[in-house]
Structure 1
Amino acid sequence: MEEVFVAMKLASSFAIVGIFSWILYVYGNMWLKIQRVRMKLQKQGIKGPPPSFLHGNLPDMQRIQAQASNIAKASNFNHSNVDQILAHDYTASLFPYFEHWRKQYGMKQHLYVNQPELVRELNQCITLDLGKPTYITNKLAPLLGNGILRANGLSWAHQRKLVSAEFFMDKVKGMVGLMIESAQPLLTKWEQISEGQGGGTAEVKVDADLRELSADVISRVCFGHSYSMGKEVFSKLRTMQKAMSKQGGFLFAATGFGDILNFLSKKQNEISSLEREIESLIWKLVEERKRECAEEISSSSSEKDLMQLLLESTMSDQSLGKDFSKSFIVDNCKNIYFAGHETTAVAISWCLMLLALYPEWQTRVRVEVAQLCPNGIPDADTLPLFKTLTMVIQEVLRLYPPAAFVSREAYEDIQIGDLNVPKGVCLWTLIPTIHRDYEVWGPDANEFKPERFSEGVSKACKFPQAYVPFGAGNRLCLGKNFAMVQLKVVLALIISKFSFSLSPGYRHSPAYRMIVEPGHGVHILIQKI
């Protein structure tokens, strides 16, 4: 009995020593480092809310978020009123702590950079010592692996060189036919729905149809197969996206102890299971593509899809090893699957919502499409001539950019403009806020006015560098050309065949689920022309 008591006492002592050691580690390696960085920023006149030991500012953020949610519930916001929809500052609802601290401090740590001059400097900074915040990329690992969206440094540079070639404009122009082909099932489905109402108006919820369309496009042009083959991959990626978005403290770093608890949580187990299933499904598609490439006589031609490029890249470098080669291919497939279809589908949804609110712009686009494409079907040569449609898309991406942030971490002390950024500081630019800044865009910043882009982005606002729907700097979205072409093709096809208005059932509620999307979907009333 005495031996048991001694053993228990010894175990308790070890536990106490372990906890005490962990506290000392956190205090010495995290807390003191944070305080030193804060002092460097404060010497430059940059202030912010004081963090607490262990939890930082997370409790304050949760409190401010809860207060904003209560205010939103108590308000009489009309989800279908045009003026209220556009005047609705959804950044104050989704990220109220940013707005709260911006008004109180101006800039803060995480260093909140929304001054146009600093955003310009951030755009021009090409050093590899500035990359994606480590703690966020760690949390995104199950969804993105170590693919291009998550990688940093030389690994990112190598992957970008390989992947970006697939999205040069000359390549994207060759994808227009496939985009049109992928859109046909959606157009047919909506025509049947309209005809089912005797040719009258019929209500459709566009989100799922647009995701399916966009997924089919990315599957065909990048991986040589249709959406039906990758349907399960897309479905599981969407499920993982929702699960990860619900995790507490997703945007900001939690303590080490909190990460341990999160790892043991049921939600994390679900994510890990999805990760294994997705990787298995993608590898099956990769193996099938390998067999197809081996059988194709034209596989050595210049017309190769992204899957072929990834396969050739790993096979040509024998030093990579089998396991690395497999993860390199699978991770980049996950990146392209997710980023290549989710953000584009959401952007089209926002376009249809605003065009439904503004039928006069719908008419103007329809007239333009009819003039340039008498048969209603665009081609690679006519797309650059769509001036009105381009203005509409640019304005939608200003008001509702799917990407909410540009975020960077300084891996070394760096200079950005007049600002000395210490190593370890994360810089954030809240895109929807700078896109609606009255000082940048004028008193009509919250209004839908595509004509502001009539002379291009350079003349649309006071500081053109403040327009960043595709990110900024050397990590500008490599799929920008692809996304813009797909937006033009799909919108031109829909607008030439249907007139539409916003359904009374539409509820305006932007939600942040790793991208800013319509929280309850977009419901429109369509009528075949």
Structure 2
Amino acid sequence: MKLLYVCHLAKLAFSPSLIAEILAHATFSVEHFPISSSMLLLMENLPALLFVLLGLALFYLGNILWLRPEKIRKRLRRQGVKGPRPTLLDGNTREMKRIRHELKPMKKQDSNNYISTLFPHLLIWMETYGSVFLYSSGGREILHVSQPDMVKDIGHWTPSELGKPNYLRKSRKALLGRGIFTVNGNEWVYQRKTMAPEFFMDKIKGMIQLIEDSTAPLLEVWENILDSAGGSKEIVVDDYVRNISADVISRACFGSSFSKGEEIFCRLRKLQTAISQQDALVGLSALWKHLPTKSNREIRNLVEEVRLLILELAKATTNNNGAEHSGTYNSLLHAIINGASGPGHGGTSEDFIVSNCKAIYFAGHETTAVTAVWCLMLLATHPEWQERARVEALEVCHSRSTLDANGLQRLKTLTMVIQETLRLYPPASLMLREALTDIKIGELEVPRGTILQVTRLMLHLDKEAWGSDADEFHPSRFANGVAAACKPSHMYAPFGLGLRTCIGQNLAMAELKVVLARLLSRFAFSPSPGYRHQPVFRLTIEPGFGMPLVVTRL
């Protein structure tokens, strides 16, 4: 009875009318304003109320940080799953930092196998506990899976059963919003149904000319640079390639040039950097994301600026009544705007438009651009494959002012080079899913709330699947397609697994083929003496110190 009485007091404490009354009396003497019975009751029992509130807060934190995770751990341990022992507050994050610190002096990044640099704790734990192990990150239980049959099973579950983690949706909210890459269930089904048709091959064929138009300025700029430098010069290619990819997304998906979308891309790039730095803070330190720090204020300002820019673009498109102009497309933007008025999304119309435009702007240009950069690096360090790809590109591009779908299909060598690059340097290295209900992976019963983690690079470098040369650059392994390149074929997953396979992969492949074919037809690439090979994880896997290459005009 006493507990119910105190709970009633707690309810009174959060009553809006009572709060208003307290504020009204805050600056005046109680002699002039009589205190109500409810307020008097609250003040008399304030110590008991504070005790209950503190107890509820401690129980809530204990449930998040220990009780709920421990329940998951017990169920998985009873089935034979092992892993490092977590601590109460930090889980295994302190051990992760210790491993990275101890191995830092030993790091040497001179090969394509950089798992030991980016994720050394995963390698050590896999050697200790096997291909399936469990570890903790501040109240989150992460089941790391690299066993092929279990990876295949992950792709069979629907987004209502195995979806994007809730914590990831919150941590990526500033960058991706509540768009197709973060939502689950029926909301995801609705968004994919809205946008996927805009990336079917019949639509991509109509975008090839736009990709050519976006590539042409780079060819001219580099020719002018090389002409003034005697035909050969070191060029840091990263930003040039990013601008091409950004222009393609702007033209093909939103009906505008890169110059109009440049402000959006610039702010999204800053957001990516800021969020990737925050992601380094794991465990309880993630609470800092909600504090009024300088970094958090910067993120909030960038989010609002991007929001206003996208809504301005959407408004201009709506005012044009869907008319296409200057040979550009914007059917995807129209699809998103039309989808915002449908019943299948969980937020406001503005949030739907902003979230999905941000997702396409970021994922559509950043991942493709970084893949093109790694392609150029690998071709520069493997001149025999560069020459083979160039001969093919010259043959296909000969007497063609514009490439078409048939021409792209003939670029067999270049396709193999791109596929091998995506194997060695997948832009999104980690695939994370959350069990939204109890599920079964292989013979393992996985309880609701468990985070499943698949490291793509581990799949792509598995020597049992790819052979003893798995960490070497050999595009010829894809000569007969993905199915023949490795067994089982689901061990190759640069665009994802199952139903959540990336909707933009057709556009990405078309863009990479056009850009690389045109570059190889005009220029030769060789390694720069100043290049420092250090892949880093900034939401995508990208060169840590940029990509300088010696470019020579043919």
Q: TM-score normalized by structure 1?
A: 0.90
CA distance in 2, matches of 1:22, 1:463: 49
**Structure 1's 334 and 248: CA in aligned 2 closer, same or farther, altered over 3 A?**
closer
2:175 corresponding residue in structure 1: 143
Deviation for aligned residue 1:124? 2.5
SS of alignment partner, residue 478 of structure 1: coil
More relative contact order, 1 or 2 (CA 8 Å, 6+ apart): 1
Q: How does 1:277-356 map to 2 (within 5 A)?
A: 277-293=305-321, 296=323, 305-315=331-341, 317=342, 324-356=348-380
1-structure distance, mates of 2:288, 2:369: 35
Q: Does 1:369 align with 2:369?
A: no
Partner SS for 1:443? coil
* Matching residue within 83, 92, 97 for 1:57: 92
Question: C-alpha displacement at 1:470, in angstroms?
Answer: 0.8
1:360-412 Cα distance to aligned partner (Å, 9 max, x none): 11110111122222136532111112111111111111111111111100010
SS at match of 1:146: coil
1:26 corresponding residue in structure 2: 61
Hey, what does 2:223 align to over in structure 1?
A: 191
- CA offset at residue 10 of structure 1? 9.7
Q: Where do residues 112-151 of structure 1 align in structure 2 (5 Å cutoff)?
A: 112-126=144-158, 128-151=160-183
Contact 2:187–2:345 (Cα < 8 Å) also in 1: no
Choose from 18, 24, 40 the match for 2:75. 40
Q: CA deviation at 1:21?
A: 3.6
CA distance in 1: counterparts of 2:64 and 2:461, whole angstroms: 39
Q: 1:163 aligns with which of 184, 187, 195?
A: 195
Q: Secondary structure at the match of 1:124?
A: coil
Distance 2:311 2:338 in 1: 15
Unmatched runs of 5 consecutive residues or more in structure 2: 1-42, 135-141
Alpha-carbon distance between aligned partners in 1 of 2:159 and 2:185, rounded to the nearest angstrom? 9
> Structure 1: which amino acid aligns with 2:70?
Q
In the TM superposition, residue 437 of structure 1 has moved relative to its aligned partner by 1.4
From 462, 481, 484, give the equivalent of 1:456.
481
CA spacing shift, 1:122–1:517, aligned 2, 3 Å = same
SS in 1 for 2:399: coil
Shift of 1:320: 7.7
For 2:405 and 2:237, locate their aligned partners in 1 and report how far apart those are by CA, in whole Å: 25
Select the residue among 423, 439, 445 that pairs with 1:420: 445
RMSD: 2.5
Partner Cα separation in structure 2 for residue 340 and residue 232 of structure 1? 16
| Aligned mate of 1:509, from 514, 526, 534 | 534
Distance change >3 Å, CA 319–CA 63, structure 1 → 2: closer
Q: Secondary structure at the match of 1:125?
A: coil
Q: Distance in 2 between matches of 1:67 and 1:195?
A: 48
Q: CA deviation at 1:39?
A: 1.4
2:416–2:479 contact (8 Å) kept in structure 1: yes
Partner Cα distance (1:345, 1:297) in 2: 26
* Compared CA separation, residues 16 and 191, structure 1 to 2 (3 A): farther
Return the offset for 1:54. 2.1
Looking at structure 1, the residues matched to 87 and 56 of structure 2 have their Cα atoms a distance apart, in angstroms, of 19
Instruction: Please give the TM-score of this superposition, normalised by the length of structure 2.
Output: 0.86
Q: Distance in 1 between matches of 2:185 and 2:270?
A: 30
Instruction: Determine if contact 1:58/1:249 at 8 Å carries over to the other structure.
Output: no
Identity value in percent: 43
**Aligned residues between the structures:** 502
> 1:195-206 alignment to 2 at 5 Å?
195-199=227-231, 201-206=232-237
Give distance in 2, aligned partners of 1:312 and 1:407: 30
Alignment counterpart, residue 494 of structure 1, candidates 519, 533, 536: 519
Higher gyration radius (CA): 2
